[in-house]
């Protein structure tokens, strides 16, 4: 069943309009991020999914792998032949392991279809940095320069013009958006930035590995990738652009016993502001708030919460929102910034759809009017 | 913010169309079922919520009680004055404790607005049965006769004509739909029916009570209301209509450590079928399947699963679907029927919206094209 | 570190007493049941674990596989050479897949060490039944006859004399103990017995399989093995002994999002009791209670709860208790019996230790004085 | 039932030995910490609980409030009359809200019984600091000076001599022990210390409040008490002693969807070490490890994990252990220290029992030989 059968307004369109719909293909459709793309695009009235690429499940009904989509998606899984796919669709989403997209991309593909890559392959501008942190050789570095880092709220205009969008990581989207305005405006010292991140377990993927078993994750919390997680250079690069220089941060992810959600708690030293009387003092709540509002008040998907309200991941579950807030600690001269998003939506598939909307000149929130589910 | 600001197609309508939108009021908007109504109606392009009634939070911003709706709903909570509300809206949803709707309903209200009651007040036709099982006096029994039991797939035509719809219970919707076709067609012995039900904890409501605390529910499962749960007479009445006579069932609910979802496992003796040669034998898989298909193959929201696939509550999470399947045990001559739904959607708010759509002549699935979320 | 270093009273014993301690070996020590055996035996002052057999982790430190035992167990894992092990220990626990123990057992082994097998290999007296339900050939049927079904409360005396104990299954222990007294005393009709069981996920084992991943289990409940679960013949055999004839039951397991615990909800028709005046009537609460008390009032590990209190799996977590209670439904003439235990303790390792205590003439509760953990 | 009936070695003692047992009373026995005290003391062979004080449940059977203790504890709850209690027991544990113990303590009580207070009333030496952070007047400041801060591994000798022990907080125990050796030895800059803490929900207590309901906590994580949590001055005081001067830290707690466990992730700048050649360089892994070993290698309850192994709260669940480890980030010159404990055991009741053992000259680990439960 196509999404036409789902949405009445699509169902009732004359047939020729269906041919005007954007055709999408997903490689890696059977990972959790891929499945979330299917959920979102199935409800997107301008898009039709033509290809559910999954090497592991070729020829099996997609809905037998994701039974929530039974009677919603009728297709069988196809393979991951990117060149063949590019000839049949307008946009390809690659929700694949690191290295796949880079190894498959070539001029033919890029000439025929726009690419939204959910892996890290094109996020980092310096090839040596990518190769060092990801431990693999980059197979198509010639596309890195044109690739646009798909953090919509920051790079909106570049995304609109892009053929190839590097969809940001889940942790990184949350971490960057939470601190970006204050770093850009020089309110905090970027070298003091510490990001303590907590993620639900869908971020670990659907691979059958003992550490991801229910009994290993449940009733448990732990840090991992301490001082060495691959999202670190991505955060440092993006916030470095904001700071106007190279920075180093500490980023520590933790695995939380829940399905979805990322919460970041970020610590930084506030930089003193020179006052009219020549004195220096730390920024006030209102001044910090004004900076956040300047950047985000008009952003539909970024909600800066009311004073004193700490973000909770459940408040954005299933939606494309990012909730942000902060507390100033006058005793220590630090600011604690907090951000929450759904790692599969704004942290992956939702942002990918948001980027696709920009690339195709659609309203940016098309298909993303998702009200967070509670409880 | 009205739903107009959420949906582009609504945003772009000329103003006069907004006055053609259905105005809805919710009393009990701050319970979990009420909040789910808000989530669904906010995404319903033909409806505008005008009144968020909540006695406990009068004058407080609704979004301060349900922060997931921050910047989506701007209204403050109103009180529960049903008469005043009836003059301002086309439909009133009462997501209230037992007895409230019955005590507030009167001819004036019913003349001005349609009512969809999510409580049990008008579900049971026999007042003594209601009063015995619910332990309270029925305050407006004069409306019981016209009230339509809002199980859409069964009572669709009556719902279309109703002024007052008694929205079924969550456990009951699941239990009834799962067994209904086989009882109606005389395939199973209704007196042998045993329903073992398992529910997520949002069904217990948002009241601050020790048994509903996180540490009391988590890592725990238990039965409750054994041989005495108030949903029993509702199931017996509806399945009794199907059987053509009074029946008695055992219904045992259990509390499961998860937010949403109901799974029922129902056991019944298969009744032998007279064959062409005069012999009797139990129905086959194909014969049972044919009965389910006759009733549900055309029902968008009821999915009869493929052979051997047992329903899982997560496959319908956040959606209005009911998944059903069955297994025949030839050894014991019983059939085990299983049904799964989301207790807040098809078990409450989703079915309420489905009923509203029917009452107002809208497409039945309007605002209910929800793809189940996984994970 | 041996358990001597853990327990002061062991630490302070003169060395020769250590040689009087029972030496135990565990094959399959790195499964969840095996790890639970380690936890219990480590705290057992009469036992010393000499061999942590785990084919998958040979030569690796046991505590690197189960970090909770860091600095408590220093040993490295050994292989699963049962004959070599039998020469070094007094008792061998096999917490292994079906078929392993049967294939490894021989006269030499049985002459040297007592065996407590946690698999199903010796639970079922009829080889064809075992082979049909387990789908494998039984490799040492010659030991089936002497093997004692290790349900302590029922077979205590036989266990004491046994060389080979077949430790019962987790679901089966709970199901059998819950119904046994009433079946034995003819209070219920065994052919009407329906067992609806719910289990925590540790029962699925530590194998890396997609269905056992956190995101697949969490926020989800489902039935499985419907009308065909391998525990069915075991329950039918044991309760058949109680009934004095062959019986057939329906047993339906469900997977619950929690680590530990099994709850069974069992339904049966009450059999009428002939009264003094020749009339027949159903048993009363007191009469049923008296039967349970006759069987269990003196049993330390079986707690029959007070009237109206439904068992909760959390109340027995981490302990060797089984909680039982019942409700009579006069409307339908059925009784609903409920039982709860910890699937890894009384459902596996705890009962195995209880059996070992009996086999070696120790106090039956030695090492099992575990107070349930809450929350 | 007394613990005599639980433990065979106690059961078999002659009666006069029972009179030599330490008599304990618990006020606040029906909170989660109080219930954990009951679990631990029930298994402690030198202690007998004589008084289960609970104002909310006076005269009700304790086991009706905590059903896990059914047939283990037979007593009914008493009130919280500390003076009367002091005449009957040797030690009183107060697991009560802030202010209770301070308001009830007097010379008479202290003359008759030793006190282990699990509240914050006597943890902080500066009355103004206590009153500012806790918002209540201190009712018996005259005892603050003699009160010993019951962090066993640090204050062992003082605890042995104390009449009044201020049992540390859960978060604080974990935070302090994790950083203490490095602060004491001047390896890290205490002014750079940031503590990001994550706790299971039993830490919130058993009060019926909406934020602690299952559906509010489950599938959710959030920070709270940001820059203002009452544990901050306690951490600053204790680590200030270690540093030899006043320090200020940022401490941010988070609520995690699990029953038990606290994980702290602590960040600090490493201080350079002067080398033999006059050069300065940051400490190496081995040097930091040597410091931790110096402090903790002999501590039974503090386990410093092997290199590269991050602590997980589940590995210490139900036990009195604290697991610690660290990672040096050479890029940023920071060290990330991690600590994990069970908030109800080493974070509350376990440490209270450990302190009691010290106060009464018992082996420090008596009754605390608990093997962590997994899963």
Give B108 to chain A, closest Cα distance, Å. 34
Interface contact C316-D68, CB threshold 8 A: yes
Task: Give the residue on C whose Cα is nearest the Cα of D202.
Answer: C375
Task: State the nearest Cα–Cα gap between A70 and chain C, in angstroms.
Answer: 16
Strand partners, A334: A269, A329
Q: Which two structure tokens, joined as six digits, stand for D283?
A: 């400490």
Residues 6+ apart with CB under 8 A from A197: A171, A174, A175, A251, A252, A253, A254, A262, A263, A264, A265
> Is the CB of B375 less than 8 angstroms away from the CB of A260?
yes
The number of helices, as runs of H, and strands, as runs of E, in chain B is: 15, 15
Catalytic residue among C77, C101, C170, C174: C170
> In this predicted model, what pLDDT tens digit does every residue of D175-207 receive, in sequence order?
999 999 999 999 999 999 999 999 999 999 999
Each residue's pLDDT expressed in tens, for chain B with a length of 375 residues: 444 444 454 444 445 455 689 999 999 999 999 999 999 999 999 999 999 999 999 999 999 999 999 999 999 999 999 999 999 999 999 999 999 999 999 999 999 999 999 999 999 999 999 999 999 999 999 999 999 999 999 999 999 999 999 999 999 999 999 999 999 999 999 999 999 999 999 999 999 999 999 999 999 999 999 999 999 999 999 999 999 999 999 999 999 999 999 999 999 999 999 999 999 999 999 999 999 999 999 999 999 999 999 999 999 999 999 999 999 999 999 999 999 999 999 999 999 999 999 999 999 999 999 999 999
Report the DSSP beta bridge partners of residue A195: A251, A266
Residue C369: CB partners within 8 Å, gap ≥ 6?
Answer: D6, D7, D8, D43
- Catalytic hit among A152, A170, A174, A310: A170
CA distance B274 to B283: 9
| Per-residue pLDDT tens digits for B111-125 | 999 999 999 999 999
Question: What is the arithmetic mean of pLDDT over C288-305?
Answer: 98
- Is the previous residue joined to A194 through a cis bond, with omega within 30 degrees of 0? no
DSSP element (H, E) containing C335: strand C334-341
pLDDT digit string (tens) for D262-288?
999 999 999 999 999 999 999 999 999
C44-70 exposure pattern, b = at least 16 Cβ within 10 A, e = fewer: bbbbbbbbbbbeebeeebbbebbbbbb
Assigned token pair, B177: 């739909």
The residue-averaged pLDDT of D228-247 equals: 98
Task: Say how far apart CA D152 and CA D160 lie, in whole Å.
Answer: 10
DSSP H/E element including D18: helix D15-20
ipTM for the predicted complex: 0.94
Residue C26: name the closest of C146, C115, C109, C147 by CA: C115
CB contact at 8 A, A332 and D249: yes
* Chain C residue numbers touching B254 (CB-CB < 8 A): 198, 263, 265
Taking a C-beta distance cutoff of 8 angstroms, is the pair A269, A192 a contact?
Answer: yes
Q: Phi then psi for C215, rounded to 5 degrees?
A: -70, -15
**Residue among A68, A317, A319 minimizing CB distance to B315:** A68
Q: Which of B221, B229, B262, B334 is the best mutation test for C, with the most CBs of C within 10 A?
A: B221
Q: Which helix (H) or strand (E) holds A280?
A: strand A280-281
Q: Do C32 and D375 touch (CB under 8 A)?
A: yes
pLDDT score, position A18: 54
B-D interface: how many C-beta pairs under 8 angstroms? 56
pLDDT at residue B234, rounded to an integer: 98
* D283 min Cα distance to partner chain A (Å): 16
**Chain D partners of B214 at a C-beta cutoff of 8 Å?**
201, 204, 212-214, 216-218, 257, 259
In A, which residues are within 8 Å of D216 by CB distance? 375
pTM of the model: 0.95
Positive/negative CA dihedral, C358, C363, C365, C366: negative
With beta carbons less than 8 A apart as the criterion, state whether B37 and B353 touch. yes
Q: Any idea what the Cα angle at residue C55 is, between residues C52 and C59, rounded to 5°?
A: 65
- As a whole number, the mean pLDDT across chain C is 95
Distance from CA of B36 to the nearest CA of A (A): 7
Task: Work out the minimum CA distance from D278 to partner chain C, whole angstroms.
Answer: 39
Residues near A99 by Cβ (< 8 Å), separated by ≥ 6?
A119, A121, A134, A136, A139
Q: Which of A209, A219, A259 sits opposite C208 (nearest CB)?
A: A209
| Closest to C164 (Cα-Cα) out of C115, C93, C99 | C115
Q: Does residue C370 carry a pLDDT above 90? A: yes
Contact D325/D304 with Cβ under 8 angstroms? Answer: yes
pLDDT in the model for residue C64: 98
CB contact under 8 A, A329 and D194: no
pLDDT digits (tens, 9 = 90+) for D302-316: 999 999 999 999 999
Beta strands in chain D (DSSP E): 22-27, 47-53, 91-94, 114-117, 148-149, 164-166, 194-199, 222-223, 250-255, 262-269, 273-274, 280-281, 302-304, 322-329, 334-341
Chain-chain contact of A375 with B70 (C-beta, under 8 angstroms): no
Q: What's the length of chain B?
A: 375
For A240, the token pair is 């470095």
Q: Tell me what pLDDT residue C5 has.
A: 47
Q: Say whether B170 is catalytic.
A: yes
pLDDT tens figures, C118-161: 999 999 999 999 999 999 999 999 999 999 999 999 999 999 99
pLDDT tens digits for range D36-54: 999 999 999 999 999 999 9
Which pLDDT value is given to residue A19? 61
Contact predicate D334/A246, CB 8 Å: no
Which member of D252, D313, D338 has the closest CB to residue A220?
D313
What are the residues facing B92 on neighbouring strands?
Answer: B25, B115
- Which DSSP helix (H) or strand (E) runs through D182? helix D170-184
Contact D374 C39 (CB under 8 A): yes
CA distance D229 to D299: 29
Gap between the Cα atoms of D356 and A26, Å rounded: 63
Calculate the alpha carbon distances from D213 to B220, B224, B253, D56 in Å. 14, 18, 20, 20
Ranges of residues in chain A whose predicted pLDDT is under 70: 1-19
* Residue matched to tokens 């200030």: D240
Query: Which of the other chains make 3 or more beta carbon contacts under 8 angstroms with chain D?
Result: A, B, C
The DSSP secondary-structure symbol of B349 reads I
Distances (CA, A) of B346 to B172, B224, B265, B318, B323: 11, 22, 17, 9, 11
Give the whole-angstrom CA distance, residue B266 versus residue B283. 17
Q: Scanning the structure block, which residue is given the tokens 């990972």? A: A31
Neighbours of D365 (CB within 10 A): 17
Under an 8 Å CB criterion, which residues of B touch D? 32, 201-202, 204, 206, 208-210, 212-219, 257-259
Q: Determine which one of B170, B174, B215, B310 is catalytic.
A: B170
Q: Determine, for residues A223 and D310 on separate chains, whether the beta-carbon distance falls below 8 Å.
A: yes
Spatial contact of A92 and A117, defined as CB atoms under 8 Å apart: no
Instruction: Give the chain D residue nearest B206 (alpha carbons).
Output: D210
User: Tokens in use for C303?
Assistant: 């707690």
Chain D residues near residue B224 by CB distance under 8 angstroms = none
CA pair distance A276, A72, nearest whole angstrom? 63
Taking contacts as CB-CB distances below 8 angstroms, the residues of chain B near D208 are: 208-210, 213
* Contact check, Cβ <8 Å, A218/D375: yes
Residues of chain D in contact with residue A221, where contact means CB-CB under 8 angstroms, are: 198, 256, 258, 261, 263, 312-313
CA–CA min distance B151, chain C (Å): 24
**Cβ neighbour number for residue A244 with a 10 Å cutoff:** 11
How many CB pairs (< 8 A) connect A and D? 146
**Cβ contacts of residue A41 below 8 Å, gap of 6+?**
A3, A24, A26, A47, A49, A353, A367
Q: Are A320 and A347 in contact (CB under 8 A)?
A: no
For residue C20, what pLDDT is reported?
86
């Amino acid at each position: 069943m196509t999404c036409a059968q789902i949405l009445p307004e699509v169902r009732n369109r004359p047939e020729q309009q269906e041919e005007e719909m954007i055709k999408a293909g997903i490689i890696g459709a059977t990972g959790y991020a891929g499945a979330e793309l299917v959920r979102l695009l199935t409800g997107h009235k301008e898009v039709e999914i033509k290809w559910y690429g999954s090497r592991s499940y070729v020829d099996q009904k997609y809905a037998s792998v994701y039974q929530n989509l039974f009677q919603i998606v009728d297709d069988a899984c196809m393979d991951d032949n990117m060149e063949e796919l590019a000839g049949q669709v307008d946009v390809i989403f690659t929700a694949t392991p690191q290295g796949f997209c880079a190894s498959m991309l070539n001029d033919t593909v890029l000439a025929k279809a726009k690419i939204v890559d959910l892996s890290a392959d094109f996020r980092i501008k310096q090839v040596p940095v990518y190769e060092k942190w990801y431990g693999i050789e980059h197979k198509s570095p010639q596309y890195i320069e044109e690739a646009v880092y798909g953090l919509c709220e920051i790079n909106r205009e570049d995304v609109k013009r892009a053929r190839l969008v590097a969809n940001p990581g889940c942790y990184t989207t949350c971490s960057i958006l939470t601190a970006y305005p204050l770093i850009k405006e020089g309110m905090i010292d970027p070298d003091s930035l510490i990001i303590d991140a907590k993620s639900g377990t869908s971020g670990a993927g659907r691979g059958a590995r003992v550490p991801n078993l229910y009994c290993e994750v449940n009733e448990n919390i732990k840090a991992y990738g301490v001082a060495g997680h691959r999202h670190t250079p991505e955060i440092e690069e993006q916030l470095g652009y904001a700071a106007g220089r190279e920075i180093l941060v500490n980023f520590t992810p933790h695995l939380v016993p829940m399905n979805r959600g990322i919460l970041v708690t970020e610590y930084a030293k506030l930089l003193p502001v020179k006052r009219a009387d020549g004195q220096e003092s730390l920024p006030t709540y209102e001044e910090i708030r004004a900076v956040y509002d300047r950047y985000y008040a008009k952003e539909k998907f970024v909600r800066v919460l009311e004073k004193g309200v700490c973000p909770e991941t459940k408040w954005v579950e299933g939606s494309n929102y990012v909730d942000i807030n902060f507390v100033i600690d006058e005793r220590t001269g630090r600011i604690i910034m907090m951000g929450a998003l759904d790692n599969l939506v704004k942290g992956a598939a939702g942002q990918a759809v948001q980027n696709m909307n920009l690339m195709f000149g659609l309203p940016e929130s098309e298909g993303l009017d998702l009200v967070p589910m509670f409880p």
